């Protein structure tokens, strides 16, 4: 039975939450493997709308065990409030499993995230301010605090002291802020320990056993390929690996166990925060995409930057993730345009370029080369099969598929679970 990875093929917010939820009913485990509560995954079930930040979207499917893997950074206050918010709405969260090796986001990480952004001024990344980067930085610097440290008070305090030693100097001397008391941080974290203890498990062992027993395991990415710290538009990226390889390191599962990698791809492009975006629109088309597509951040409420579909990026996502399928979302948003521009290549310093530029400065100079595809005006939100789509919508999907390098196996025509055309089965 398959282990599947489902990830963002662009700059995040492609509709991963909806796609995960759609598969949730047929999946035994849904696993977050990287990122943290910088994610905002929307799931619409009937007339109920859920916004999940840290928990895997599979938590809404009763038969499915949600897992937070070792590669995730966990803010314990957010974890508990998200769980209790779901409990209040009648969702059973008792099956959640949390890796003891996952790193914590502490209050000082969030403080440093915000102060660093302020310090950067014009050069800021536009982070979500949730402490993601500073927590991963501590992990790599070997001064991170892990979930398992919550259960040993003396170790916890020692580790917090080690982590704050240097940071307090920076806060006081560089940022002119008050230093943070290790004891106070330890007490706050210890206050969460008892509520979290029951969820902690050796998640790598659980997941490998599950795969060996032919269970279906779905790895749900946060963010997207172009926000990957290695393969994205560095430095305008998040601090983890949303790309497919991240599922292996972030969950403790070997690459030979993964049978399918599904890229979630919006029928146009959006981005939140700073950084290059060749097809970005600053005109009424961009405004229309934002208002029709409701492109406002789930986590920070910021306006998303909007632009046309970029096939160079889609091809790149196919390459660096080894995608086997695409799930094309939000096709319905494009209804009503007479012709739809699609970026097929870039022009960089007078030369046509078909692949994502390897060099950052080249990407900043990339101008989109557009092909114009005929649009459609019919409402497509009730379409159930590919043939139900108007001919021009079918042709749009087929063109994107040819340009992007992997089959489009599902098409989203609305936010709801049933507003999906399944072309090929994922399981
Ligand atoms: P994620 O971060 O990748 O899970 O995506 P977000 O939830 O941040 O943003 C995607 C938005 O698009 C959400 O509001 C979804 O409800 C919505 N959505 C997902 N698929 C479709 C679709 O096919 N059509 C429309 N109109 N909305 C969709
Ligand atoms: P989902 O999972 C879109 C962006 C931020 C910023 C950069 C770094 O909903 O697709 P961070 O706080 O991670 O250090 O910010 O990454 N970003 C996202 N953009 N969707 C997301 O998540 C994002 N998570 C982070 O806007 O540009
Ligand atoms: Mg989102």
41 and 184 fall within a common domain = no
Q: 96 lies in a domain?
A: no
Is 379 known to be catalytic? no
d(CA 315, CA 396): 16
d(CA 181, CA 404): 52
pLDDT tens profile 13-58: 999 999 999 999 999 999 999 999 999 999 999 899 999 999 999 9
Write the CA distances from 89 to 11, 66, 97, integer angstroms.
30, 17, 20
Tell me which H or E stretch contains 189.
helix 182-197
CA of 137 to the centre of ligand 1 (A): 30
Which string of DSSP letters, residue by residue, matches 266-290?
Answer: ESSEEE-SSS--TTB--SHHHHHHH
> Can you give the CATH number for the domain in which 289 is found?
3.90.170.10
Write down the H helix ranges in 213-354.
244-251, 284-292, 311-321
312 and 405 fall within a common domain = yes
412 and 351 fall within a common domain = yes
360 and 227 fall within a common domain = yes
Q: 427 lies in a domain?
A: no
Q: Is 304 assigned to a binding site?
A: yes
175 and 207 fall within a common domain = no
CA of 234 to the centre of ligand 2 (A): 13
CA-closest residue to ligand 1 atom 11: 15
* Res. 1: pLDDT tops 70: no
- Report, as an integer, the average pLDDT of 149-170: 96
| Residues, CB-to-ion distance under 5 Å, ligand 3 | 13, 40, 298
**Which pLDDT does position 222 carry in this prediction?**
98
66 and 111 fall within a common domain = no
167 and 241 fall within a common domain = no
50 and 141 fall within a common domain = no
- Report, as an integer, the average pLDDT of 328-350: 98
Find the catalytic residue in 21, 28, 41, 138.
Answer: 41
Q: 136 lies in a domain?
A: yes
Atom in ligand 1 nearest the alpha carbon of residue 412: 23
Is 365 known to be catalytic? no
> Can you give the CATH number for the domain in which 140 is found?
1.10.300.10
| Residue 173 CB partners (closer than 8 Å, separation 6+) | none
Q: 97 lies in a domain?
A: no
| Range 4-41 burial, b when 16+ CB lie within 10 A, else e | bbbbbbbbbbbbbbbbbbbbbeebbbbbbbbbbbbbbb
Residue 6 three-state SS: strand
- Report, as an integer, the average pLDDT of 196-201: 98
What values do phi and psi take at 2, rounded to 5? Answer: -85, 150
180 and 212 fall within a common domain = no
Write the CA distances from 245 to 57, 210, 322, 340, integer angstroms.
20, 20, 10, 34
Among residues of the chain, what percentage have pLDDT more than 70? 100
33 and 180 fall within a common domain = no
Neighbours of 406 (CB within 10 A): 22
Q: 343 lies in a domain?
A: yes
Q: Is 14 assigned to a binding site?
A: yes
**Which pLDDT does position 372 carry in this prediction?**
98
pLDDT tens profile 266-294: 999 999 999 999 999 999 999 999 999 99
| Mean pLDDT value across the chain | 96
Q: 18 lies in a domain?
A: yes
Tell me which H or E stretch contains 50.
strand 48-52
Residues with CB under 6 A from ligand 1: 8, 12-18, 40-42, 44, 294, 298, 329-330, 332-333, 412-415
Residue of 35, 41, 42 best suited for mutating to test ligand 1, as the one with most atoms within 8 Å of CB? 42
- Report, as an integer, the average pLDDT of 236-252: 98
248 and 366 fall within a common domain = yes
Strand-pair partners of 329: 266
Find the catalytic residue in 109, 139, 167, 266.
Answer: 139
- What is the DSSP-derived secondary structure letter of residue 378? S
CB of 81 closer than 8 Å to CB of 51: no
Residue of 110, 127, 271 best suited for mutating to test ligand 2, as the one with most atoms within 8 Å of CB? 127
* Res. 378: pLDDT tops 90: yes
Q: 107 lies in a domain?
A: yes
* Res. 296: pLDDT tops 70: yes
pLDDT range class, residue 396, cuts 50, 70, 90? very high
Residue of 15, 46, 295 best suited for mutating to test ligand 1, as the one with most atoms within 8 Å of CB? 15
Q: Is 44 assigned to a binding site?
A: no
Q: Is 299 assigned to a binding site?
A: yes
* Res. 367: pLDDT tops 70: yes
Which of the listed residues 149, 174, 197 is the one where a domain comes to its end?
197
Q: Domain of 37?
A: 3-91+202-422
145 is written with which tokens?
């605090």
Is 41 known to be catalytic? yes
Q: 364 lies in a domain?
A: yes
How many domains are there within the chain?
Answer: 2
74 and 119 fall within a common domain = no
CA-closest residue to ligand 1 atom 9: 13
CA of 13 to the centre of ligand 3 (A): 4
CA of 297 to the centre of ligand 2 (A): 9
pLDDT range class, residue 300, cuts 50, 70, 90? confident
Which of the listed residues 164, 197, 230 is the one where a domain comes to its end?
197
Which of the listed residues 154, 175, 197 is the one where a domain comes to its end?
197
| Residue written as token pair 């097929």 | 344
């Amino acid at each position: 039975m398959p282990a599947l990875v489902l990830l963002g093929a662009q700059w995040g917010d492609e509709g991963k939450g909806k796609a995960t939820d759609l598969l949730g009913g047929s999946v035994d485990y849904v696993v977050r493997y990287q990122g943290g509560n910088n994610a905002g995954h929307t799931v619409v079930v009937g007339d109920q709308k859920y916004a999940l930040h840290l928990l895997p979207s599979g938590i809404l499917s009763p038969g499915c065990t949600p897992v937070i893997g070792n590669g995730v950074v966990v803010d314990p206050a957010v974890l508990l409030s998200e769980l209790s918010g779901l409990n209040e709405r009648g969702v059973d969260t008792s099956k959640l499993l949390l890796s003891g090796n996952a790193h914590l986001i502490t209050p000082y990480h969030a403080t440093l995230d915000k102060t660093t952004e302020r310090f950067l001024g014009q050069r800021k990344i536009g982070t979500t301010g949730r402490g993601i980067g500073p927590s991963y930085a501590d992990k790599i610097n070997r001064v991170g605090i892990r979930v398992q440290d919550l259960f040993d008070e003396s170790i916890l305090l020692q580790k917090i002291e080690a982590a704050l030693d240097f940071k307090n100097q920076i806060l006081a001397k560089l940022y002119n802020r008050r230093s943070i008391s290790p004891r106070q941080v330890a007490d706050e974290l210890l206050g969460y320990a008892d509520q979290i203890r029951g969820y902690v498990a050796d998640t790598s062992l659980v997941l490998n056993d599950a795969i060996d027993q032919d269970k279906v395991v779905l790895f749900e990415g946060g963010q997207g390929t172009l926000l990957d710290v290695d393969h994205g538009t560095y430095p305008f990226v998040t601090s983890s690996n949303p790309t497919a390889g991240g599922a292996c390191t972030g969950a403790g599962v070997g690459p030979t166990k993964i049978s399918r990698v599904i890229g979630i791809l919006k029928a146009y492009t959006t981005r939140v925060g700073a950084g290059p975006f060749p097809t970005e629109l600053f005109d009424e088309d961009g405004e229309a995409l934002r208002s029709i597509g409701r492109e406002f951040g789930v986590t920070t409420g910021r306006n998303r930057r909007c632009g046309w579909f970029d096939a160079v990026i889609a091809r790149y996502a196919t390459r660096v993730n080894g995608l086997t399928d695409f799930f094309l979302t939000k096709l319905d948003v494009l209804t009503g345009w007479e012709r739809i521009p699609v970026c097929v290549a870039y022009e960089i310093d007078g030369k046509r370029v078909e692949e994502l530029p390897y060099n950052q400065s080249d990407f900043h100079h990339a101008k989109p080369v557009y092909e114009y595809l005929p649009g459609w005006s019919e409402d497509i939100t009730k379409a159930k099969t590919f043939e139900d789509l108007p001919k021009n919508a079918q042709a749009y999907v087929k063109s994107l598929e040819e340009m992007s390098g992997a089959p489009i196996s599902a098409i989203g025509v609305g936010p709801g679970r049933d507003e999906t055309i399944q072309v090929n089965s994922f399981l």
